[in-house]
Amino acid sequence: MPTVTLTVNGRQVSADVDARTLLVQFLRENLRLTGTHVGCDTSQCGACVVHVDGKAVKSCTTFAVQCEGADVVTIEGLAKDGKLHPMQEAFREHHGLQCGFCTPGMIMSAVDIVNRKGAVDEATIREELEGNICRCTGYHNIVRAVEAGALAMTGKAPARQAAE
């Protein structure tokens, strides 16, 4: 079995894995980081989105062995020192989640959108959320959350205030 060594949420981890282990399985089963979810088999739904070397990817469509030496951040690693990431804060403030299942992937994608594009408008957010499916919210409040989270991340407004 190949050995894979990578950094997950700032912590170096190493394990012998069956080569067919997907990154999402590695996170959920080896590391018990169950915040990353699996909602489909065809790389459509985005519940499994994590950041690999700073970029959003679908962890259900990535082998763990492909991540040798990579820096992986999951939903569990987004808050720092007990303080929520502005995008997490914005999702709560704008009711951008209901059942919560798509939420980790949605938030990881949203952070990635802002990392790439800065403060984004509604049309861009809707287009950029192409790879994330939510069945609960109708996306209305997700869009509001990403708008506010983007402003907060880019220093234009705190996520909380933006809701008032």
Partner 1 sequence: MYPFKYHKAATVRGAVAILKKAEEPKLLAGGQTLIPTMKQRLASPKALVDLAGAGLSGIEQKGRTIVIGAMTTHAEVANSAVVQAAIPALAKLAGHIGDPQVRHRGTIGGSVANNDPAADYPAALMALGATVHTNKRKLAAEEFFAGLFSTALDEDEIVTKVAFPVPGKAGYVKFPNPASRYAIVGVFVAKKGRSVRVAVTGAGSDGVFRHEAMEEALGKRFNPKSLDGIATPAGNLNGDIHASAEYRAHLIGVIAKRAVAAAA
Partner 2 sequence: MTVTAIGSAVRRKEDHRFITGKGQYTDDINRPGQTHAYFLRSPHAHATLKKVDIARAKTMPGVVAIYTGDDVAADKVGGLICGWMIHSKDGTPMRAGPHPILAQGKVRYVGDHVAVVVAETLAQAKDAAEAIDVDYGVLPANVDTAGAQAKGAPEVHSEAPNNTVYDWHIGDKAATEAAFKAAKHVTKLDIVNNRLVPNAMEPRAAVGEYDAGNDALTLYTTSQNPHVARLIMSAFLGIAPEHKLRVIAPDVGGGFGSKIFVYAEETVCVWAARKCGRPVKWTADRTEEFLCVAHGRDHVTRAELATDAEGKITGLRVKTIANMGAYLSTFASSVPTYLYATLLSGQYAIPNIYAEVDAVYTNTSPVDAYRGAGRPEATFVVERLVEAAAREIGMDPAAFRKRNFVSKFPHQTPVIMNYDAGDYKASLVKAMDMADVKGFGKRKREAAKQGKLRGLGYSTYIEACGIAPSQAVGSLGAGVGLWESAEVRVNPVGTVEVLTGSHSHGQGHETTFAQLVSSRLGISIDNVSIVHGDTDKVQFGMGTYGSRSGAVGMSAISKALDKIEAKAKKVAAHVLEAAEADIDFKDGQFTVKGTDKSVDFGTVALNAYIAHKFNPQELEPGLKEGSFYDPTNFTFPAGCHICEIEVDQETGVASIVKWTAVDDFGNVINPMIVEGQVHGGIAQGVGQALLESAIYNKDGQLVTASFMDYAMPRAHDLPSFDVGMTVTPCPSNPLGIKGCGEAGAIASPPAVINALTDALGTENVPMPATPQVLWQVIQRQSKMAKAAE
Sites of contact with partner 1 (CB under 8 A): 2, 18-20, 22, 41-44, 46, 49, 52, 55-58, 60-63, 65-66, 68, 109, 112-113, 116, 128, 130-132
Query: Quick one: tokens of 30?
Result: 């080896």
> From CA 163, how far away is CA 157, in angstroms rounded?
10
| Alpha carbons 108 and 85: distance in angstroms, whole number | 11
* Residues in 9-28 that interact with partner 2 by CB under 8 A: 20, 28
**49 closest CA partner among 102, 4, 10, 87:** 102
Could you say which of 7, 15, 30, 76 contacts partner 2 (CB under 8 A)?
A: 76
DSSP tag of 95: T
**129 near partner 2 (CB under 8 A):** yes
Which CB sits closer to partner 1, 51 or 85? 51
Q: Name 47's Cβ contacts closer than 8 Å, sequence gap at least 6.
A: 36, 37, 38, 39, 40, 101, 102, 104, 105, 132
Residue 30 contacts partner 2 per CB under 8 A: no
Q: Which of partner 1, partner 2, none does residue 95 bind (CB under 5 to 8 Å by kind)?
A: partner 2
- Cβ–Cβ under 8 Å, residues 108 and 129: no
At its nearest, how many Å lie between partner 1 and the CB of residue 42? 5
Q: Which is nearer to partner 1, 131 or 158 (CB)?
A: 131
